[in-house]
Structure 1
Amino acid sequence: MVLSDDALTLLRGSIRSVWALELLLLLRRTPDRDWSNGDLVSELRGSDVVVQEALAGFLGAGLLVAQTDGRHRYRPASPLLDQWVEEIEQAYATRPSAIIREIFAAPGNKVQIFADSFRFRLND
């Protein structure tokens, strides 16, 4: 794999879709900007529900801070977290298909669960 074990754990645990990865990378590229949910919906053409879900995961992982006005800013709780996000970003830039596969292979990924429901078992 193109990621360290720690970066892979972060990817699998906190980034549930390619869209969420794009959101995280946008936030990382603009560390001095506070983003509202509406701004993120407009910028990435997503839905409010998807933005809220992704932001909640990033907050839980210690990648963002929430401002009192409801806006969010990229501010990892430690430099190590930022290093792992940078590692993910570089791997995504050079080997996007490998990163996308890891996102879809993550335990609990809804797309993978749906796809697996169509697999035939030998005893069926």
Structure 2
Amino acid sequence: MAALPMHEPLSDDLRRFILTSVPSVPYLEAILQFHAPPRAPRSAASLAAVLYIGESAAQALITALAVAGIVRKLPHDAEDRHEYAPADPAMAAMIDRLVRAYTSDLVGVTRLIHDATQRSAQRFSDAFKFGKGS
């Protein structure tokens, strides 16, 4: 039986970036679509088609990526397309590392994102619980 390939553990700074800056797997998948060669501009419709999501969900992802400084809107574009354009070299380097990590350890990165999402949902839920003495 062949051994499974070993994955390099995520560095602390990359792990922190994922936990603080990647709210969902679809968000990460949208980053991958903009990052992948050829780095062609994308509309909400084209992103929706490759991610198998609705166009409004794709538009929400694009808006979130633009706010985060990962993509920018093409000026004077009738199709309202965006292109990959990290705000600075440090962001570009971190995204490159994220893409490599996801490519080599899809399950590990996905679990980290899901665990963070689940913890956030649990904290939100816990905020509405009342103690027995209330």
Note the aligned Cα RMSD (angstroms). Answer: 2.8
Q: In the TM superposition, what is the alpha-carbon distance from 1:22 to its structure 2 partner?
A: 1.3
| Alignment partner of 2:40 out of 3, 11, 33 | 33
C-alpha contact 1:76 1:82 (8 A) present in aligned 2 = yes
What is the alpha-carbon distance in structure 1 between the residues aligned to residue 23 and residue 38 of structure 2?
22
Partner SS for 2:86: coil
**How much has 1:9 moved relative to structure 2?**
3.6
Structural mapping, 1:87-102, within 5 Å: 87-102=97-112
Residue by residue, what CA displacement relative to the aligned partner does 1:44-91 show, whole Å, maximum 9, x if unpaired?
211122212221221122111111322110011112111111111111
- Structure 1, gaps ≥5 residues long: none
Unpaired stretches in structure 2, ≥5 consecutive residues: 1-8
**What amino acid is the match of 1:36?**
S
Give TM-score, length-normalised by structure 1. 0.76
Once the two structures are superposed, residues 78-112 of structure 1 have per-residue CA deviations (whole angstroms, 9 ceiling, x without a partner) of 12111111111111122222211221233xx3785
Q: 1:46 aligns with which of 48, 53, 74?
A: 53
For the pair shown, the structure with the greater C-alpha radius of gyration is 2
Paired residues for 1:19-30 under 5 Å: 19-30=26-37
The match for 2:25 is 18
- Which among 114, 121, 124 is matched to residue 113 of structure 1? 121
Alignment coverage as a number of residue pairs: 118
SS at match of 1:30: coil
TM-score for both structures, normalised by structure 2: 0.71
The change in CA–CA distance for 1:111 and 1:20 in structure 2 (over 3 A counts) is farther
Separation in 1, partners of 2:115, 2:62? 21
**Which aligned pairs between 1:60-71 and structure 2 lie closer than 5 A?**
60-68=67-75, 69=77, 70-71=80-81
Name the amino acid aligned to 1:54: L
